[in-house]
Structure 1
């Protein structure tokens, strides 16, 4: 079968190649991929790909072989899945617990944009807890995670301030319920009950300084790739009894499949709207990855597999 494999080069970072057909474990389902989403974090992984690794964690398609142990969806079901790797391919093996079935209302392109960004946003909301009436700051908000989180949090009653690179990139976030759009963390009018920080570098201490008494900063990414330096004397002199928490989306007590089913249900009922900034044929993957890495795409980018 054909699949996108890492070249180890800056550009093109991937190329089409013939690879072996997936060998299924007893709890794995074989999915014929119709569409997959690419994430900015994957562009970083492609710079130094480990031996044997193939990219791809967000897929949507058709079940063509059910799991041998009887778990998961049956042959012929349309699904969205979150495999550990290898999703940028004609076929991929997906653990049955990392799949959700798709209703007719949700097409493959929309579904493919859900897994990594949607799971992250949903689980961030779970970590924050009751958001009704609370002020929340989120950095790096013009990506897929930011769009999902702002819409979910605003619907639950939060007052969200989103930090984006430009007013244009923030316009859609306003439509999704953001109370305020700023281009710099320093311009955000705090204090905030919770600051969600995904950029790292100088923004982390700036966001922490905006946290209210007994507030929280949740660190969930470092897309700037710049180390963050925190002066704890400033921290102790800042918001009293504030806390800092590291977040990783995979650390969840709820399975990927269960949370994907929740996201699918929200999309199907018109309560969640994936922001898809670009759709292209999968042969254009390398060029799309370049644009994504250079922040030329707002929201998610989805590739379709002919």
Structure 2
């Protein structure tokens, strides 16, 4: 079986290797991978890969071996899945609680683009609470998570301002109903909810945009620069702001993945896919994703996709 494994090289982060197919645990199904979608965070892990790392958390494909414990979809079911690792391969073992069946109307390309970014967006918005009529600020908005958050939040009635590095990266977000600015300082607050994903100097600026009693949810550090908060500066700023750390992780993922699939099937959620390529182009795609040259998601095809 062909699988992509880390090389530790910045210019070529992965290479093909021939390895045995995975042996599923009793609660795992074996999926023939048709498409997978790397995430920018995975590109950072590949810079100094830990021993045994098998990358790949977002896949779509066909169940070729059902779980031995009787859970999950049957052989022949098309699925989207969120394995813990190992998805950049011809076959992946996926826990059945991290699978969602696909209807005929949802192709493998869009399905592969859903898991990590879509589940993060869903859970992030649940953390934010009711958004009907709320003013929301979203930083680092042009990636996969940002597009899902924007479409879902606007549909829920939020007045959303999205921060992107360039006008080009904000075009689709504006089409979805967001006001687009290019640095947090330009956002016209105050905001009921601030969703902050860049860290570094942007975090204190975003924090200052919250209304008194507002909520700031810090869910990423895409700038890769640590943030510094000055207590006395905060004390002289907006009062009673809640700053909350967020991480999407926590199984089961299947129910949230099923919700995302349903929204796509109903034409209520539209994955932003900036690149579709054969998986022989994975190394170059990972570099472009790391360097922010892809808007939204990138999807790699192993062959036989629908």
For this structure pair, what is the TM-score category when the shorter chain's length is used for normalisation?
Answer: over 0.9
Q: Find out whether 1:59 has 2:59 as its counterpart.
A: yes
2:38 equivalent in structure 1: 38
Q: Find out whether 1:238 has 2:237 as its counterpart.
A: yes
Residues in 2 aligned to 1:289 and 1:143: alpha-carbon distance in whole angstroms: 14
2:269 equivalent in structure 1: 272
Residues in 2 aligned to 1:113 and 1:54: alpha-carbon distance in whole angstroms: 19
Residues in 2 aligned to 1:273 and 1:177: alpha-carbon distance in whole angstroms: 13
3-state SS in 2 of match to 1:148: helix
Residues in 2 aligned to 1:274 and 1:60: alpha-carbon distance in whole angstroms: 14
2:177 equivalent in structure 1: 177
2:198 equivalent in structure 1: 199
In the TM superposition, residue 291 of structure 1 has moved relative to its aligned partner by 0.6
1:283 equivalent in structure 2: 280
1:302 equivalent in structure 2: 299
Residues in 1 aligned to 2:27 and 2:157: alpha-carbon distance in whole angstroms: 39
3-state SS in 1 of match to 2:267: coil
In the TM superposition, what whole-angstrom CA distance separates every residue of 1:38-85 from its partner, at most 9, and x where no partner exists?
111010000111111110000000000000000000000000000000
1:14 equivalent in structure 2: 14
In the TM superposition, what whole-angstrom CA distance separates every residue of 1:135-187 from its partner, at most 9, and x where no partner exists?
00000100000000000000000000000011111110011121x10000000
Q: Find out whether 1:228 has 2:205 as its counterpart.
A: no
Q: Pick from 268, 284, 290: which aligns with 1:293?
A: 290
1:211 equivalent in structure 2: 210
TM-score calculated relative to the size of structure 2:
0.98
In the TM superposition, what whole-angstrom CA distance separates every residue of 1:182-204 from its partner, at most 9, and x where no partner exists?
00000000000111111110000
User: Structure 1 stretches (4+) deviating beyond 4 angstroms?
Assistant: none
**Larger mean Cα displacement after TM superposition, 184-193 or 231-240:** 231-240
CA-atom RMSD in angstroms: 0.7
Residues in 1 aligned to 2:121 and 2:296: alpha-carbon distance in whole angstroms: 13
In the TM superposition, what whole-angstrom CA distance separates every residue of 1:187-233 from its partner, at most 9, and x where no partner exists?
00000011111111000000000010100110000011001000011
In the TM superposition, residue 251 of structure 1 has moved relative to its aligned partner by 3.9
In the TM superposition, residue 113 of structure 1 has moved relative to its aligned partner by 0.2
Residues in 2 aligned to 1:13 and 1:168: alpha-carbon distance in whole angstroms: 27
1:250 equivalent in structure 2: 249
In the TM superposition, residue 20 of structure 1 has moved relative to its aligned partner by 2.0
1:87 equivalent in structure 2: 87
1:263 equivalent in structure 2: 260
1:160 equivalent in structure 2: 160
| Number of equivalenced pairs | 303
Residues in 2 aligned to 1:224 and 1:20: alpha-carbon distance in whole angstroms: 37
Residues in 2 aligned to 1:132 and 1:97: alpha-carbon distance in whole angstroms: 31
Residue segments in structure 2 that go unaligned for 5+ positions in a row: none
Residues in 2 aligned to 1:184 and 1:245: alpha-carbon distance in whole angstroms: 21
